[in-house]
């Protein structure tokens, strides 16, 4: 009887250990969702092991009273364990679905086998185009853009006759710094007929602005492309792209070039400012221009640019701008002076304009400037 009890105790301890291991697997899965397939496999293995424990050795036909008594006590425990195993399986199934959802939406890293499956699907030219593009999007969101995937995308990009497909491919290539994408993107930005594709190409080239060829192409697009959205995307690329010493020197030369258009100079100034490069002398030159120019449109554009600076050099031309006969100039001057309201003289001018200007928009702008930056 002691042997039977010992065997039964061993069975129950084994079951308890397996159940504890099952729970540990679920907890581990919460922290490592990329091992979902492994969790499923281990759970199946545990169920098989439990089924094996329930089997009795062949030839065991005589049931002793003590065994009958022990079995009657085991039955509820077995049923409870079975229910708990089912609950565990349901919890793992829910975890797997949640993990798959989070991986597909970029909230969890893709499992290694998932990345491989997606890369294999994307490289299959016989697969449905929608499925391939979806796979590429998932690879991009989950940092799966290997050199091989990038090359497949470039090959498809150069052979595709569908503008929508080209746009999606270019968009997906936006997360890579692989130098192989530069030439195709430059070609698209200059020759592509579809403005949406040109826009995506300009956006993605911002990572390569330290290349003079890319820089020059972006300037050409920013100044000359017929589509406003494409021009703006190229402008953003020039403002926000990386800037080494050579590019900083080129931007400074452009910002101070008297032959360049004002828009070109201001864009170069924005790029220098974003790169945290010294610009005090450039701003001083533009402040002098704002004070002396007779061109209302030019003065308006300069005052719009000054709204991004609290450089003292801009203060005097902005105060003079409050007295300009053009209300658009006065409005922009009042707005930009919000950065100088710690100066009592500036506040006095803004209070006067807020109470007395003939244009209600100018009065409103002066009042907002006073309220925006109280000392």
The terminus-to-terminus CA distance of the chain in angstroms comes to 91
- pLDDT by residue (tens digit) across 168-179? 999 999 878 899
The span from the CA of 231 to the CA of 149, in Å, is 29
Does some domain include residue 335? yes
The span from the CA of 369 to the CA of 375, in Å, is 12
Alpha carbon 45 to chain centroid, angstroms? 40
**Bigger pLDDT: 88 vs 295:** 295
Question: 143 lies in which domain range?
Answer: 110-203
What separation in angstroms does the CA of 90 have from each of 26, 42, 84, 215? 11, 14, 10, 56
The span from the CA of 309 to the CA of 215, in Å, is 25
Q: Are residues 126 and 102 in the same domain?
A: no
- Among residues 150, 171, 203, which one ends one of the domains? 203
- pLDDT by residue (tens digit) across 241-252? 999 999 999 999
Does some domain include residue 233? no
The pLDDT, as a whole number, for residue 174 is 86
Does some domain include residue 225? no
Q: Are residues 87 and 149 in the same domain?
A: no
Report CA dihedral (140, 141, 144, 148) to the nearest 10 degrees: 0
Contact indicator for 333, 357 with CB cutoff of 8 Å: no
pLDDT above 90 as % of the chain = 62
How many helices and strands (H and E) does the chain possess? 19, 0
The span from the CA of 110 to the CA of 370, in Å, is 52
Question: Span 308-330, mean pLDDT?
Answer: 94
The span from the CA of 130 to the CA of 122, in Å, is 10
Q: Is the pLDDT of residue 88 over 50?
A: yes
The secondary structure of 119-188 as a DSSP string is HHHHH-TTS-HHHHHHHHHHHHHTT---HHHHHHHHHHHHH---HHHHHHHHHHGGG---GGGHHHHHHH
The pLDDT, as a whole number, for residue 30 is 45
Question: Span 151-170, mean pLDDT?
Answer: 94
- Among residues 173, 203, 233, which one ends one of the domains? 203
Q: How many domains does the chain have?
A: 3
Contact indicator for 222, 267 with CB cutoff of 8 Å: yes
């Amino acid at each position: 009887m002691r042997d039977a009890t010992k065997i039964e105790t061993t069975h129950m301890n084994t079951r308890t250990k397996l159940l504890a291991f099952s729970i540990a697997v679920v907890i581990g899965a919460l922290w490592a969702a990329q091992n979902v397939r492994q969790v499923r496999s281990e759970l199946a293995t545990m169920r098989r092991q439990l089924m094996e424990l329930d089997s009795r050795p062949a030839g065991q036909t005589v049931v002793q009273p003590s065994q009958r008594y022990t079995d009657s006590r085991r039955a509820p425990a077995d049923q409870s364990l079975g229910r708990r195993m089912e609950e565990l399986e349901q919890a793992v199934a829910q975890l797997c679905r949640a993990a798959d959802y989070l991986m597909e939406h970029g909230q969890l890293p893709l499992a290694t086998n998932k990345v491989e499956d997606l890369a294999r699907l994307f490289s299959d030219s016989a697969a449905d185009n929608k499925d391939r593009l979806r796979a590429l999007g998932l690879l991009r969101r989950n940092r799966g853009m290997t050199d091989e995937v990038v090359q497949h995308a470039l090959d498809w990009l150069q052979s595709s006759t569908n503008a929508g497909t080209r746009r999606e491919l270019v968009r997906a290539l936006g997360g890579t710094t692989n130098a192989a994408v530069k030439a195709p993107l430059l070609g698209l930005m200059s020759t592509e007929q579809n403005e949406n594709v040109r826009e995506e190409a300009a956006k993605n080239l911002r990572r390569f602005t330290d290349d003079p060829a890319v820089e020059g192409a972006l300037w050409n697009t920013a100044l000359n492309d017929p589509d406003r959205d494409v021009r703006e995307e190229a402008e953003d690329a020039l403002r926000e792209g990386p800037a080494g010493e050579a590019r900083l020197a080129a931007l400074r030369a452009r910002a101070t070039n008297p032959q360049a258009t004002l828009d070109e100079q201001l864009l170069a100034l924005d790029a220098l400012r974003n790169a945290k490069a010294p610009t005090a002398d450039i701003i001083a030159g533009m402040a002098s221009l704002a004070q002396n120019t007779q061109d209302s449109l030019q003065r308006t554009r300069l005052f719009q640019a000054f709204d991004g600076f609290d450089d003292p050099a801009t203060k005097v031309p902005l105060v003079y701008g409050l007295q300009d006969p053009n209300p658009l100039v006065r409005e922009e001057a009042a707005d930009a002076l919000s950065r100088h309201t710690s100066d009592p003289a500036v506040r006095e001018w803004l209070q006067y304009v807020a109470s007395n200007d003939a244009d209600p928009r100018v009065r409103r702008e002066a009042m907002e400037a006073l309220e925006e930056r109280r000392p």
